[in-house]
Structure 1
């Protein structure tokens, strides 16, 4: 099973970010509006709060979903994320960054091509 990035397909910025990841890696994309019942069952109750990467064995949410999705691309060497995860405070910083971008995606989306 290919990893599946579940994202807010009602958000232009989110849709462009998901397409960027899929273009550079082996990730299937599924928008919130296209969720199958079986995929929806694997997501947390408040799934609309952030993106999720669903694999055979796990579901990663919010900042960790984007990190894991980027690790599936050719853009960043996957072992680099292992190094990041060993840095004290990295998970909190990753989630803080994800939240800042998510909370300002309308503004950020207008700034990007």
Structure 2
């Protein structure tokens, strides 16, 4: 099985910082929005540039679900944290609202944590 593709906004320093962090703990193939192939774009939702995505051989995860699945691919600790989070009441709703809260404030978070590239 190929490493999951982590699709992110390659114009966002905070997004690249987050992808770099995930790459430290998990095995992913990072793909910026500007590097997407036509086949990869075809698998993504229409407004794909609103959030991150995780492409596996059989599934596409978007936004908060992509963040959760990415964490689950970050070794035993990441998998355990994702598993614990899934036990929370209303987890899916919390996950998506939390993701949207952070994503809508990327410029602010980027003042504190940012990087010019993923590698």
Query: Would you identify which runs of 4 or more consecutive aligned residues in structure 1 move more than 4 Å?
Result: none
| TM-score relative to the length of structure 1 | 0.91
| TM-score relative to the length of structure 2 | 0.87
CA distance in 2, matches of 1:16, 1:77: 17
Q: Deviations over 1:53-83 (max 9, x none)?
A: 0001100000110111111113734144234
From the superposition, tell whether residues 92 and 35 of structure 1 become closer, same or farther in structure 2 (CA, over 3 Å). Answer: same
Q: Secondary structure at the match of 1:111?
A: coil
Point out where structure 2 has 5 or more consecutive residues left out of the alignment.
115-119
**Alignment correspondent of 1:105:** 106
Point out where structure 1 has 5 or more consecutive residues left out of the alignment.
none
Task: Count how many residue pairs are aligned between Structure 1 and Structure 2.
Answer: 113
1:2-21 superposed matches below 5 A: 2-21=3-22
- RMSD, aligned CA: 1.6
CA distance in 2, matches of 1:104, 1:76: 27
